[in-house]
Amino acid sequence: MRFIFVGFLFFLTAAASAQPIARVKVSGRIFSNEQLPLAGISISASQSSVKTTSGADGTFSITLSNIPDTLQFTHIGYQPLRIPVTSVAKPLEIIMNIVATELSQVTVSTGYQRMKPNQVNGSFSVVDNKLLNQQTGTNILNRLESVTPGLSFNKGYGNATRNRNSTGINIRGLSTINGSLEPLIVLDNFVFQGDISNINPNDIESITVLKDAAAASIWGARAGNGVIVITTKKGRFNQKPTVSFSSGVIVQEKPDLSTLRDMSVADYMGLETFLFGRNYFNSALNRRYVPVPPLIEVLQKRKMGLISAADSAAQVKALQGQDSKAQYEEHFYRPAVTQQYALSVSGGNSNMMWLLAGAIDRNTDNLSATYDKANLHLSNTFKLSDKLQLEVNAYYTNSKATTGKESFGTVASVNGRYAPYLSFADADGNPLSVPKYYRNSYVDTAGAGHLLDWKYYPLAEYKQRRGTTRTDELLANIRMSYKVLPFLQASVLYQYQQQRTDQQNLSGAESFDARNTINLFSQVNRTTGEVTRVVPVGDILNTTFTNLRSQNLRGQLDFNRSWKDHSIIAIAGGEIQDINTDSYKNIYYGYAAKPLTSAKMDYINPYPTYINGVEQIIPDAGPPSSTTSRFVSLFTNLNYTYKDKYSVSLSTRRDGSNVFGVKTNDKWKPLWSAGIGWDISQEGFYRLQWLPQLKIRATYGTSGNVDLSRTALPVAVYSVDPLTNLPIAAITTLNNPRLRWETVKQFNVGVQFSNNFLSGSVDYYTKHGADLYGPMAYDYTAWGASNFITANVADMRGSGIDAIINTQNLKGKFKWNTTFIYNYVNNKTTKYFEDQAQTINTLLSGGKSITPVIGKPLYSIAAFNWAGLDATGNPQGYLNGSISTDYSAMLTSTPAKDGQPSIVYIGSSIPTSTGSVTNTFSISNFEVSVNVAYKFGYWFRKPAISYSGIVAGAMGDKEYADRWQQPGDEHRTNVPSFVYPNNASRDMFYAYSTVNALRGDHIRLQYINLTYTPVKPFGITSLKLLQFYFNVANLGIIWRANDYRLDPDYPKGIPAPKTFSVGIRASF
């Protein structure tokens, strides 16, 4: 018995020693590096061999058999993380870093919050860093072209109020008629007020395009044209120090002037000879200082007997052998070169993350203009405690731009007339003069040699006349966040932005601009030869200093809580913004940099000019200007999700501004949106195994649009009366105290889907622009300047489709993926009070400016109904159903009840269907992407000969050679005969006839991007990434609907030259 008892004690002791010291429960919460809770993260213990997953709110709990132990956290799209556990004093807070290539699949940035795609009911597109790098260039927005659904590039379009869209970007078409056309640009949570070219593409992590009202309404009354949210790169928690480097060179070919549709040299000289015989140039020839084309000089000398017929013929032959375009291409153009360098260092531990980046760009364009830019980017995030976090970011840009050589249109002209046979340099490359402003025979003798050289040397002018623009921009923001509760965070954000631009245009003493101004205000005593100069000899310096300051202050509460089957994400807050722009101008005559001197000038009294004695005031710089805009906003956004299947979102916002009327209801604009989402693939009845993921969503809401150039108050321009020298003020815009925000209402319904082969989304939307700016009849006797006043009286409607489909065509060693993008948009005017908006006659225009006509697209064209040429070469149309040549009557005609109408509607002049197809092939370490873009469903006007234009000195068109010249030609050509004197109405009829309205549909090879990414290059284990890339862009049109080989994007100009890029990216 004693032995049994001793054995029992021994067994208990052994058993006790075999048990763990204590079972340990470890809990915590997992976040992404965007501070979003992560669900479904796999957690495993190395020693205890137990596993679990995180809940919907990112929380987890795991029981370890003993400690120390190591927990491993893994999930697709995130970098694996190992955390040693040595104690359980407090819950763990785990930060997992997103794999860069998966960013667009993980979070959506609205500028106020980051959310998962399944938590967003609105329509958006995310372009990640990898996709951005498929295109090259210094403008980050240009890299969105042809890769973003719902977004199209249509450069050169604008509206009648001079609101040109500088970005060329349309997000889901138009939302306004006379208001601002620009999309709202947001950089790191705040509206960006500066120059987008200041932002270096190497600093950008991703771009989110907010398209519908639910996605964009959080930005309120300035989001009607869509919102582009740019997110810069940041460091990451628990990341070892990483060094990233990139370098690239972009070379652009010289523009090809042969694509211009100008008349041949022989045809143009024949025309000038004809006009000379008709005494067209007599008015200019009778004024000895007015320049005439070189051919006219030769013909005039022969007419006056100053040269022989043989000399005249020889000089004419010499001119025929000259080509202004060839001379310009040889002496002015050069390949454009851009060099880009970027270096960044980033890292982090459990309590902080940081990034320091710098970049340098050096650019020289085709005309030797330069643009050099340096960027410095600093980002730091500190966890001051378990609840308090501080973020500090700063972005600094310093740039310098200098002007280059003058454009072809500037130098290839004489007194405003196109001259196709000029020489800009002699055989040795020395600059030659061109009689652009004054006749050579006049300036050779003017002042009897006492004046400065008065000739214009185009090839040398850019060296003597240089414009320099220096820009400094500082963008700094700070964010303090405090966790009030585990699910509630309070934040205060502040941003300061200052952009200072110093523009200096220096006309050196040897420049034509300086010599001309000095000579013009000089008087010569013919007896003594003494010269009296009102403007002293020396440089002339024009300066413009602009200072833009913007301040934003935002307070925000973030609520994020999940329990059982419920999840709520909400924000609420308010913000104020103040934008101030000051501009100052000066002009200095007789300027010298060393020693720094300038002359005092009299800008009040007029002085006689040398050429004709007419008195003029010496040009001054103009008055300063200052503009202040203030905005106040209150906002809230809520998203509720049930069982990860059903979601409801609601957003409200109220914006106020000092821009609008005296009444509170006009100053403030309430906006809202609502959305629902249904992940139908999670329902029990869902049986489509080939499509395992399917979500349906719908939204409706309102956003706004504001044009800061408009105000409810009267606008006056102050100046000095040239007769009395007294200050005067002229009212240029009448006050309208009821002027208010424009409103954009948008409905969107969409579907998202995916399987192992394809994924994508399709959205259908409608837009209604209400309370838009438009002209309203006004009693002109109360003002006198106009019988219209701008008011909120116009409406428009639009609809469209966005679609993106990604397919995985081949997997394995050889991969082939395809992305299809399709956009359709249709906008039309529904209310406009001007009489011109009631007739399609108004659409006899170029089609690049919004022309409101009820029921028609905002960009559209009409044309005269073409009936061919008559037996004498006159263009014919229809009047009252019958063939006619009464051009003035056809212009003002109304639609005929019977027979052919005079004017017919053609269609939209902006593409209604756009998109692209991108194929990406990869094998081993090579990857090549080929992007083909298309634009369909629109029309453009073919450049046409205008005889009144070429007589007045325009470049003309090569179809001049195909004009009607003899009876019977009307059967082979549509180009009218040349008539003199000209008939401008006849020319207009032909130019705007249906025969010159062409389909703009075309397909373009946008770019090819090739990368080589070796694995473990050179055996260096610390080298995380080494990538070489080659890119070629602007490869040209591969199909077009028109038979004239015209590029619809550049029908009158020079197509964008090809660009070639090569570079390297590396990280350690």
Burial 489-523 (b: 16+ CB within 10 A, else e): bbbebbbbbbbebebbbbbbbbbbbbbbbbbbbbe
Residue 938's beta-bridge partner residues?
none
The one-letter amino acid code at 410 reads: T
Q: Which of 490, 647, 636, 635 is nearest to 568 (CA)?
A: 647
**Res 105: pLDDT:** 47
Q: Are 61 and 72 in contact (CB under 8 A)?
A: no
Residue 202 has pLDDT above 70, yes or no: yes
Q: Which of 188, 234, 225 is nearest to 208 (CA)?
A: 188
State the average pLDDT over residues 720-728.
74
Residue 1021 has pLDDT above 90, yes or no: no
Model confidence over 273-309: pLDDT tens digits? 999 999 999 999 999 999 999 999 999 999 999 999 9
Give 165's pLDDT tier (boundaries 50, 70, 90): confident
Q: Quickly tell me which residue has 């132990």 as its tokens.
A: 69
Model confidence over 949-991: pLDDT tens digits? 999 999 999 999 999 999 999 999 999 999 999 999 999 999 9
**Res 103: pLDDT:** 35
**CA–CA gap between residue 371 and residue 104 (Å, rounded):** 32
Poorest-pLDDT segment among 128-132, 736-740, 768-772:
736-740
Give 235's pLDDT tier (boundaries 50, 70, 90): very high
Percent of the chain residues topping a pLDDT of 90: 67
Q: Which of 1032, 1011, 1037 is nearest to 933 (CA)?
A: 1037
State the average pLDDT over residues 114-142.
89
Q: What DSSP string describes 319-383? A: HHT--HHHHHHHHT---EEEEEEEEEEEEE-SSEEEEEEEEEEEEE-TTS-EEEEEEEEEEEEEE
Q: Are 121 and 697 in contact (CB under 8 A)?
A: yes
**Res 610: pLDDT:** 93
Q: Could you tell me the domains of the chain? A: 18-98 (2.60.40.1120), 101-240 (2.170.130.10)
Give 18's pLDDT tier (boundaries 50, 70, 90): very low
Q: Are 283 and 433 in contact (CB under 8 A)?
A: no
Burial 691-713 (b: 16+ CB within 10 A, else e): eeebbbbbbbbbbbbbbeebbbb
> Which structure tokens are listed for 450?
């006492």
> Which structure tokens are listed for 559?
């609520």
Q: Are 701 and 746 in contact (CB under 8 A)?
A: yes
- For β-strands 92-96 and 24-32, DSSP reports them as parallel
**CA–CA gap between residue 807 and residue 753 (Å, rounded):** 12
Provide the H-helix boundaries in 606-746: 664-667
Which whole-number Å values give the CA distances from 1034 to 841, 972, 1031, in the listed order?
A: 36, 36, 10
**Res 76: pLDDT:** 56
> Residue 747: which H helix or E strand, with range?
strand 742-754
Residue 102 has pLDDT above 50, yes or no: no
- For β-strands 184-187 and 227-232, DSSP reports them as parallel
**CA–CA gap between residue 824 and residue 652 (Å, rounded):** 29
**CA–CA gap between residue 410 and residue 366 (Å, rounded):** 15
Give 12's pLDDT tier (boundaries 50, 70, 90): very low
> Which structure tokens are listed for 622?
């103009």
Residue 10 has pLDDT above 70, yes or no: no
Mean pLDDT computed over every residue of the chain = 89
Q: Are 782 and 788 in contact (CB under 8 A)?
A: no
**Res 164: pLDDT:** 65
Residue 17 has pLDDT above 50, yes or no: no
Give 850's pLDDT tier (boundaries 50, 70, 90): very high
Residue 786 has pLDDT above 80, yes or no: no
Q: Are 447 and 524 in contact (CB under 8 A)?
A: yes
Give 13's pLDDT tier (boundaries 50, 70, 90): very low
**CA–CA gap between residue 983 and residue 429 (Å, rounded):** 43
**CA–CA gap between residue 990 and residue 969 (Å, rounded):** 16
State the average pLDDT over residues 722-739.
77
Q: Are 544 and 583 in contact (CB under 8 A)?
A: yes
More confident residue, 249 or 604: 249
Give 163's pLDDT tier (boundaries 50, 70, 90): low
**CA–CA gap between residue 199 and residue 186 (Å, rounded):** 12
**CA–CA gap between residue 612 and residue 403 (Å, rounded):** 33
**Res 9: pLDDT:** 36
Q: Are 213 and 675 in contact (CB under 8 A)?
A: no
Residue 899 has pLDDT above 80, yes or no: no
Q: Does the bond joining 294 to the residue before it have cis omega, within 30 degrees of 0?
A: no
Q: What DSSP string describes 72-135? A: EEE-TTB--EEEEE---SS-EEEEEPBPGGGHHHH-EE-SS-EE-GGG--S-EEEEEHHHHTTS
Model confidence over 1031-1068: pLDDT tens digits? 999 999 999 999 999 999 999 888 999 999 999 999 98
**Res 644: pLDDT:** 83
Task: Name 521's Cβ contacts closer than 8 Å, sequence gap at least 6.
Answer: 533, 534, 535, 607, 609, 610, 616, 618
State the average pLDDT over residues 916-940.
96
Give 472's pLDDT tier (boundaries 50, 70, 90): very high
Give 724's pLDDT tier (boundaries 50, 70, 90): confident
**CA–CA gap between residue 901 and residue 839 (Å, rounded):** 13
Provide the H-helix boundaries in 465-561: 512-520
Ramachandran sector of residue 258 (left: φ over 0; alpha: ψ -120 to 50; beta: rest): alpha
For residue 881, the 8-state DSSP code is B
Give 22's pLDDT tier (boundaries 50, 70, 90): low
> Residue 965: which H helix or E strand, with range?
none
Task: Name 603's Cβ contacts closer than 8 Å, sequence gap at least 6.
Answer: 617, 618, 620
Q: Which of 622, 629, 701 is nearest to 659 (CA)?
A: 629
Q: Are 512 and 540 in contact (CB under 8 A)?
A: no
Give 688's pLDDT tier (boundaries 50, 70, 90): confident
**Res 1062: pLDDT:** 98
Model confidence over 389-445: pLDDT tens digits? 999 999 999 999 999 999 999 999 999 999 999 999 999 999 999 999 999 999 999
Kindly report the number of other CB atoms within 10 A of residue 560's CB atom.
21
Model confidence over 32-75: pLDDT tens digits? 765 677 877 878 888 887 888 887 678 899 988 888 888 888 76
Q: Which of 910, 995, 988 is nearest to 948 (CA)?
A: 988
**CA–CA gap between residue 1027 and residue 504 (Å, rounded):** 41
Sign of the C-alpha dihedral computed for residues 709, 715, 718 and 721 taken in this order: positive
Percent of the chain residues topping a pLDDT of 70: 94
